[in-house]
A and B are shown apart, each in its own frame.
Chain A
């Protein structure tokens, strides 16, 4: 009934955490280089069917992985390359798609996409070997425009232009709808993981930073603010896991549950980011301290894969039976 994670999934998360822990390499390039390590743990193969060199894993496995990548603020197009593009490629017959799928699974290829109007830009297209454009029922191979700077220095956004139609028709429309849900789910998981990291960093700082002769974490104003962050994260996670389970089982409320999870995870992460910066004080505002990596990633991911307003509207549309919950590609 509920979506408790299995011992195997907990082990998977722990292995991923160990892999990404340790000395943190500075900069975007070093972060992107870690994607080869991710492939060794199977992360890049999760959503790819077994027949195409992947693992055919469940959305809950995807959530476990994406949460840990968010926990480490790993640079790169996580929701795009791990979730949305693999789902779209599954709708493509032919050797070209198979080659891409094998490349993604093996960690040789990074992919991204634009999915306008909800996703008008492709994230990290300047680091990707495959860029797609999906519109309504049409999937294009795309050419990215110049990379624009993101609020997250480890991320870029590019406009794209369709070059060649790869597929068109109802199967593509279904895949686009699923890709939007899977991408939103993965980005929600990243946000939850980033929120957890921000809380952990804040607790660590508050225990050691001494002012007025005591750790700042002994002050009630700090304790209560961080307690509220813990509550927000604690109650976002069950929504995330339930959304993954609903997608896995193809349940009709899956779209509603994914939107609820994105709203809750983005809210919890946003509040965690604000509290973390405040608890760290000036050191947290510097580029010399690591905190900004999580802080800016959270800000970048909040509107990605659907704004809070769009997801709240989808929840209400589903609850009030107002026709199809907002056309999938809006």
Chain B
């Protein structure tokens, strides 16, 4: 049987009939962790990883196939997404063999669910303004400071982020990429309610939190380079595979057939444009994946190529959902109407996280087009 067929059949049997409670609630988080373990037991949690870490050594092209089927089946949100799609690529590129052996199998089984800890109250778009400190001590580091907008941190086990370990080494120098335990002594997590009403992210207060040397990724002081070298993963296809948008576009076309007014050609044109956008994103991601599978530069390279995709998918996501809501008319405001309102609230965040779209446009203009810095 083809890989696509196997994935489709497995999902048809295993995807819960009723949607799980939101991943950003305590009960929902546990249910999603259990779902990840089911995926892992079928070796479907991390198909593109090496087998020794729980994967299948699948190509990126096959991973895209998995994602298409996953979203088409409306399977649960991936609670481990920060670890799987952001931390893992960094470990593959810059981690030690010991770190990979210790961390990746637990990540694949959701024994550890990871939160990201990039932003700070004074360091959002200007990420290099990070002030949270890491002070060297025998055997490791002591962390102090505040991280915020940390996705999944309300319920997750561990977190990763950048810390200033050498205050004299300039803005980008002297940052180190560190991992820490969210339940370690000195860590306080304050969940933050989002506009959707859920606690999708949190503020993290660190007060003299010990991290062993083994939990530094790359060399101390090299954290900016390590983080930026895989920033493309956060902006690009590994975070937002085309499967999500293709599935939404397919549902939007169905909604148009069911509810659309044939005389409303303006709305019909928006449905067409949304579908065309999802198809364009799919085709470009396939080309990127095939190039990466062939050993060429993928989407996680210098980051500038990925910036094109990040602006595109985040605006596409909003267009898909806004079009659906306009189609639904007065029922659009209902949170239980076919999930479109929830999806819309989620899509609203897209142009902000993973580097605002303004930051991405500046990256595109200066690094791809060669306009002056």
User: Considering the chains assembled together, what is the distance between the CA atoms of A223 and B368 in angstroms?
Assistant: 11
**Is B276 within 8 A of A231, CB to CB?**
no
Q: A4-B290, A207-B371 are in contact. Are A263 and B283 (CB under 8 A)?
A: no
Q: Does B287 contact A (CB under 8 A)?
A: yes
* CB of A160 closer than 8 Å to a CB of B: no
Query: B308: CB under 8 A from chain A?
Result: yes
B65 closest partner in A (C-beta): A1
**B273 is an interface residue with CB less than 8 A from chain A:** yes
Contact B372 A217 (CB under 8 A): yes
Knowing A234-B308, A235-B284 touch, does A309 contact B362 (C-beta < 8 A)?
no
Q: How many residues of A contact B (CB 8 A)?
A: 39
Are A2 and B365 closer than 8 Å at their CB atoms? Answer: no
A146 sits at the interface (CB 8 A): no
CB-defined interface of B275-294 with A at 8 Å, one 1/0 digit per residue?
11101110110110011000
Chain A residues near B2: list those with CB within 8 A.
Answer: none
Residues of A within 8 A of B373 (CB): 218
On whether A264 and B276 interact (CB within 8 A), knowing A2-B286, A312-B269, the answer reads: yes
The proximity string for A residues 219-246 relative to B, scoring 1 for CB distances below 8 Å and 0 otherwise, is 0101110111011001110110110000
Partner of A320, one of B256, B279, B312, B372: B256
- In Å, the complex CA distance between A313 and B270 comes to 11
Chain A residues with Cβ below 8 Å from B291 are 4
User: Which of A4, A199, A235, A308 has a CB less than 8 Å from the CB of B280?
Assistant: A235
Contact of A316 with B by CB under 8 A: yes
Write out the residue numbers on chain B whose beta carbons fall within 8 Å of the beta carbon of A46.
none
Counting chain A CB atoms within 10 Å of each CB, the highest count among B271, B284, B311, B371 belongs to B371
List which B286-323 residues lie within 8 A (CB) of chain A. Answer: 286-287, 290-291, 308, 311-312
Within 8 A of A (CB), among B321-373: 358, 360-362, 364-366, 368-373
Residue of A nearest to B284 (CB): A238
| With known contacts A238-B287, A239-B283, A312–B273 Cβ distance under 8 A | yes
Complex Cα gap A264–B277 (Å): 8
Q: Please, which residues of chain A bring their CB within 8 A of the CB of B127?
A: none
Known: A224-B361, A316-B271. A231 touches B369 (CB 8 A): no
**Is A206 interfacial (CB-CB < 8 Å)?**
yes
Docked Cα-Cα span, A1 to B280, in Å, equals 14
Give bound CA distance, A294 to B369, whole Å: 20
A: residues with CB less than 8 A from B are 1-4, 199, 203, 206-207, 214-215, 217-218, 220, 222-224, 226-228, 230-231, 234-236, 238-239, 241-242, 260, 263-264, 308-309, 312-313, 315-316, 319-320
Please list the residues of chain B having a beta carbon within 8 angstroms of any beta carbon in chain A. 61, 253, 256-257, 265, 268-269, 271-273, 275-277, 279-281, 283-284, 286-287, 290-291, 308, 311-312, 358, 360-362, 364-366, 368-373
26 contacts between A and B (CB under 8 A): A1-B286, A3-B287, A203-B370, A203-B371, A206-B371, A207-B370, A217-B372, A220-B362, A224-B358, A226-B369, A226-B371, A227-B311, A227-B369, A234-B284, A234-B312, A235-B280, A235-B284, A239-B280, A242-B279, A263-B272, A263-B276, A312-B268, A312-B273, A316-B256, A316-B271, A320-B257
